[in-house]
Amino acid sequence: MRLCVVSRSIILLAACLALAACSDPPELPLRVGVNPWLGYDPLVLARERGLTDPADLRIVELESSSESARQLRNGLLEAAGLTLAEAIELAGSGVDIKVVAILSLSKGADAVVAKPGFASAAALKGARIGMENSALADVMLQRLLEAGGLQRDAVSLFRLPLVEHEVALTRGRVDAVITFEPVVSSLVAAGYRVLLDSADMPGEVVDVLVIRSDALGARPAQVRALLRAFEDGRLALVAQPQEAARTLAAGTDLDTVSYLRALENVRMLTLEDSKVLLDAVPDADMLALGQLVADLKASQRVMAEPDWTKLFDGHVAADVLAARPRP
């Protein structure tokens, strides 16, 4: 009888071990890369307010969007906030990604800022220009050269991360920078001059949420949680802008008032607006896709127009909106 009990115990233990071995490992959080750009701050605010579940999402703050794209390419991130220009370039390089949300439109928050002595784009002939090594920076450079009637070899380019833009300009290392908020506001307050900004490029300076296709297929619930987090953060920012700005401005060199003023140059889209645009691609009026691809080609960032229907995917946004409780 004792042998029988022992045998049963061994069998039970073996069965438990077998079940444990066959069970799925706990799912890791979806890693989402963002750089210091106001348009991604709803995600940061959602994290700071406890509106996200750390088991679902990990917001990874990086120095630049180029670093976000690199980590996304190498599988170190599953998702990232990128400009549409960067998403097109990434897809063109063979990375299988989907744009699942259109987050914001820049209407002056990205700019070419120069020393006071430079009165126009044409005056930059022979000038030193600091800029990130990114698709959007090259798009803005292309538009700047066109505005000034300049060839690319008419200026000297210095590839600098965002954190060096202000110091490089104020210390005379460069004559102008292609930069974005919050650096733009800080430089303008110090007396520097905007020569061109994203308000001159409607529909080209667009920020999107990009997901690796393999992560979208394997972890759809976490991707839905990501879209909900951005929308919840956006709503919190709209509902209590002063309080939210006090939280978010702490990560910039701006005070609360200056932060809110800078934010006026960014149009953050609702999830409903995002879904409408995703469904309208490639004919969405608010997105200057043809001009953007032309600029990317001119700057030799891409060789061909992407398959828009494969790059943009509105299914996740549709699922999140459908799951919302009815008022």
User: Can you name the CATH fold of 30-105+204-322?
Assistant: D-Maltodextrin-Binding Protein; domain 2 (3.40.190)
Residue spans in the chain of domains classed CATH 3.40.190.10: 30-105+204-322, 110-200
Residues 276-323 pLDDT 10s: 999 999 999 999 999 999 999 999 999 999 999 999 999 999 999 999
Does residue 251 carry a pLDDT above 90? Answer: no
Burial letters 247-277, b for 16+ CB under 10 A, else e: bbbeebebebebbbebbebbbbbebeebbbb
Considering the entire predicted model, what is its pTM? Answer: 0.88
Residues 73-120 pLDDT 10s: 999 999 999 999 999 999 999 999 999 999 999 999 999 999 999 999
| pLDDT greater at residue 263 or residue 327 | 263
Write the CATH number of the domain with boundaries 110-200: 3.40.190.10
Tell me how far CA of residue 60 lies from CA of 42, 70, 74, 166, 175, in angstroms.
14, 13, 15, 24, 32
Give the C-alpha separation, 29 to 140, whole Å.
35
Find the distance separating the first CA and the last CA of the chain, reported in whole Å.
Answer: 65
Q: How many Å is the Cα radius of gyration of the chain?
A: 23
Antiparallel, parallel or unpaired: β 110-114 and 176-180: antiparallel
Q: How many Cα atoms occupy the beta-carbon half-sphere of 94 within 13 Å? A: 1
Q: Which residues pair with 177 in a beta bridge?
A: 113, 130
- Mean pLDDT (the chain) is 91
Residues 175-231 pLDDT 10s: 999 999 999 999 999 999 999 999 999 999 999 999 999 999 999 999 999 999 999
